[in-house]
Amino acid sequence: MRSWSTSHPRQIHNCKRDGSDRPLLGARQDLGNKEGRSSSSRKTRSRQRTISGRALCDLRVLDLTWYIAGPYCTKLLADYGAEVIKVERPGGGDPARRMGPFPNDEPHLDKSGLFLYLNTNKKSVTINLKSITGIELLRELVRKADVLVENFAPRVMPSLGLSYHMLSKINPALVMVSISNFGQTGPYRDYRASELILYGMGGAMNATGTLDGGPLKLGGNVVQYQAGVVAAVATMGAVLASRFRGVGQHVDVSIIETQLGSIDRRSTNLLSFVYSGRAPFSRSPAAGLFTLLPRGRYACKDGFIEFAGGGAQFWPRYAQMLGMPELLSDSRFSTLEERYRVEHLDELEAIVVAWLAEHTKQEVMEAAQAAGVACGAVQTIADVVENLHFQDREFFVDIEHPVAGKFKYPGHPVRLERGGERVWGAAPLLGEHIEEVFCGQLGHSKEDLLRLRQTGVI
């Protein structure tokens, strides 16, 4: 097969390498002697000077993930510069392509809002992994990859001859990340699950809901996104180990265990149970609680506001927020003992509620913050997108997609002083980068691609 390179109209990465195909992220060092360290350090600095722009631009990732958890993991890597090659099924691609929302409610493989968000800055190729030739093609990609991320059921990759044991023979430095519901081992290994099931099994749902109702899950796919974040962090840890030691490893990410390890009503409750023997249980009421000071959610002129409460020392700050310094000398509220009287608490709450009814949530938040009171507006999605703070920091970015059009996307959750250049590429069309990857990187010809298409391999 002859080598054939192609320039692509939507090239995403501009990372310069040092003339070889060696990774630059972290040069392996001889840790056994000073001379080795000094020489390696000089080489590392030299290589680092050749990197153009983005923090992970020398990292090549094969993305065999679909839906949410896996794609969010690889999205985080791609958005910080990694070359992420998404391997999709011919014809249909990632099932998330068929999940809404869609512009004008018109379903289209290249217009799914979920897919467009989860796959920014990635490249797309298609491979039929049920074909022998497709498996060989993937193995070619593995030879040139630093990382492979997959979120199939644990039995799938070994059944295809693509277990870590097999792939590490092809590429000993490969980091393979497997994301699954319950992990690669254990009695639940092959159990099926969903966002709702995992949330409930993780222990959090028993503490969420209403006082007079049963357990309820909070909305959204929080479990999936958190698992993606954990997987991305674990991936980078394994990559650093691979670069410095020269040996890859298999990273086993159990989505249910990312929930058990979460601080959100999970690890704290688990620790409490281990040390006390009692199962913590708490479901918060729907509205705010007025103890000594406002705490929780309160209605105001145009929506809701959230207060964090506070101890007795914060009372002067609340009086300042209300613009009523006279309350400090009011006999009903001048001492802690008087303020704790039930009738006085009711009177103070009435004053606060009346004041809130005359002010917008933005006015309340600004007055509270000026007085040193922890308080925030309960914002709608429109409020968030139009918020002056996020606009000033340019958090939201406009990305033009050739089929879906231009939309606003959440940007980087973390700003890097170096290597954090904000470069954005739209999510790929299905199979958009087949020629760039198979010809430019693997050396296949256009004629090879034609045969692969005709036989249903790509």
**Angle between helices 222-245 and 69-79 in degrees, nearest 10:** 50
Instruction: Give the pLDDT score at 21.
Output: 45
* Same domain for 370 and 257: no
| Residue 359 within a domain | yes
Report residues of the chain scoring pLDDT below 50: 1-14, 16-24, 26-52, 285-287
| Residue 39 within a domain | no
* Same domain for 150 and 99: yes
Domain count, the chain: 2
* Residue where one domain finishes, among candidates 354, 379, 404: 379
* Same domain for 304 and 359: yes
Q: Which domain holds residue 360?
A: 289-379
* Same domain for 127 and 235: yes
Instruction: Give the pLDDT score at 6.
Output: 32
Instruction: Give the pLDDT score at 218.
Output: 73
* Same domain for 96 and 190: yes
* Residue where one domain finishes, among candidates 325, 349, 379: 379
The CATH code of the domain that includes 296 is 3.30.1540.10
* Same domain for 332 and 255: no
pLDDT in tens, 154-212: 999 999 999 999 999 999 999 999 999 999 999 999 999 998 888 888 777 777 777 77
The CATH code of the domain that includes 71 is 3.40.50.10540
Instruction: Give the pLDDT score at 8.
Output: 36
Angle at 148 between CA 146 and CA 154, to 5 degrees: 150
Instruction: Give the pLDDT score at 439.
Output: 97
* Same domain for 234 and 362: no
Global pTM exceeds 0.85: no
* Same domain for 104 and 230: yes
| Residue 102 within a domain | yes
* Same domain for 301 and 192: no
